[in-house]
A and B are shown apart, each in its own frame.
Chain A
Amino acid sequence: DAKTTQPTSMDCAEGRAANLPCNHSTISGNEYVYWYRQIHSQGPQYIIHGLKNNETNEMASLIITEDRKSSTLILPHATLRDTAVYYCIVAAGGTSYGKLTFGQGTILTVHP
């Protein structure tokens, strides 16, 4: 699976949008971009995933560049409960078929 690069940490003010970048320059054509987050001492929570097109759900939006070499996760109105480690993962063919390789992720801290 392709490797991803994320900033170690980011801060965001409560109520503002949090934009978390991820580089995956070696992504293959059949690899999806997945985002999970992990709140302290809990299991990871699925957020969103995409292949080529931008995606949006009730939690977040995922913007994937046209060349697919990078993406941005957007939390439109961050709350204190969004403080967590955010993992950007690329995986081939959907996660039900393959393992997820977790990097170090981005520690997002939302402050009042």
Chain B
Amino acid sequence: GAVVSQHPSWVICKSGTSVKIECRSLDFQATTMFWYRQFPKQSLMLMATSNEGSKATYEQGVEKDKFLINHASLTLSTLTVTSAHPEDSSFYICSASSQNNEQFFGPGTRLTVL
């Protein structure tokens, strides 16, 4: 299947700082990218959907001003967690798809906020 990468794979930051996570589709052009969050022993929860060149659509309960999503090209989307707090510590996973194709997931980024 198609390859999706994420960077960094893990990050530790201080409370109040911002963290940027990158998601790249390596061998295909992703018209749509999705961002998920997974807390320990829980399932994945969709945070937002982004289409290249347009604003992201956020799921209910996800603060768009706190979780900034940029999808500036067909191979790159970024998620910035602004003013991170310990409760934002989680496993963040992106997925990407092209038209008429399945979603392929990245390896995830583990965020720990101290």
Contacts and interface: CB of A to CB of B under 8 A. Distances in A.
A100 B108 contact: no
Interface residues of B, number: 29
Interface in A82-99: 87, 94-97, 99
Nearest to B106: A43
Interface in B25-83: 31-32, 34, 36, 43-46, 49, 59
A36 B59 CA distance: 21
A46 B104 CA distance: 7
A46 B95 CA distance: 11
A101 B100 contact: no
Given A41-B91, A43-B108, A45-B105, A96 B100 contact: yes
Contacts, number: 62
Contacts of A42: 107-108
A109 to B, nearest CB: 16
Interface of B: 1, 4, 6, 31-32, 34, 36, 43-46, 49, 59, 91, 93, 95, 97-108, 110
23 contacts: A36-B105, A41-B91, A41-B108, A42-B107, A43-B95, A43-B105, A43-B108, A44-B44, A45-B1, A45-B105, A46-B104, A94-B101, A95-B97, A95-B102, A96-B98, A96-B100, A97-B32, A99-B34, A100-B46, A102-B36, A102-B43, A103-B43, A105-B43
- 5 nearest A-B pairs in the assembled complex, by CB-CB distance: A43-B105, A96-B97, A102-B44, A95-B103, A102-B43
